[in-house]
């Protein structure tokens, strides 16, 4: 009997182009801790095991891409630097220039946060 390519891959343990997940990890939790984990997983719309796996992998990678805090902090810093520098030099900022600056910061802050998180993960 001849096997087609997908049947051969399945028998070797490959799962559609990725490594097979066959290692388990477990821990003991109190009822209260377990309930909190269930609530967190449900809030993210994930199955419990999927959510726990994502949290563990995110922690070992060292960055949380979904956390908007870094982007917002960088946005405030960019705003302060770009507004205070001209003011310290005695220049005035027009409302139009200020609005343009806000738009530029809105577009740039997430990309900058991603770069910083990636560089922190490499260290």
Whether residue 14 is predicted with pLDDT greater than 70 in this model: the reply is no
State residue 8's pLDDT score.
46
Place of tokens 């003011």: 87
Q: Are residues 54 and 86 in the same domain?
A: no
Residues 77 and 114 occupy one common structural domain? yes
Mean pLDDT along residues 82-94: 92
Q: Which long-range contacts (CB under 8 A, 24 or more apart) does 11-17 make?
A: none
- 123 has pLDDT over 60: no
Domain of residue 36, residue span:
26-61
Mark whether 76 and 118 lie in a shared domain: yes
Give the mean model confidence (pLDDT) for residues 95-120: 84
Nearest-angstrom CA–CA distance, 105 and 75: 6
- pLDDT score recorded for residue 64: 54
> What does the pLDDT read at residue 94?
92
Same domain, residue pair 116 and 88: yes
- Whether residue 74 is contained in a domain is answered as yes
114 in any annotated domain:
yes
pLDDT value, residue 2:
46
Whether residue 31 is contained in a domain is answered as: yes
Percent with pLDDT over 90 in the chain: 37
So what's the pLDDT on residue 63?
A: 54
In whole angstroms, what is the distance from residue 88 CA to residue 38 CA?
52
Global pTM value: 0.43
Predicted pLDDT at 1? 45
Looking at the domain assignment, is residue 19 inside a domain? no
Tokens 């060292």 belong to residue: 62
């Amino acid at each position: 009997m001849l096997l087609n390519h997908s049947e051969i891959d399945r028998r070797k343990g490959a799962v559609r182009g990725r490594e097979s997940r066959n290692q388990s990890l477990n821990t003991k939790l109190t009822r209260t801790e377990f309930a909190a984990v269930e609530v967190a997983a449900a809030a993210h719309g994930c199955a419990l095991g999927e959510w726990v796996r994502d949290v563990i992998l995110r922690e070992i990678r060292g960055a949380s891409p979904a956390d908007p805090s870094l982007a917002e902090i960088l946005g405030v810093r960019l705003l302060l630097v770009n507004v205070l520098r001209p003011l310290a030099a005695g220049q005035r900022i027009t409302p139009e220039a200020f609005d343009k600056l806000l738009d530029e910061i809105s577009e740039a802050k997430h990309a900058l946060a991603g770069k910083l998180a990636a560089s922190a993960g490499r260290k």
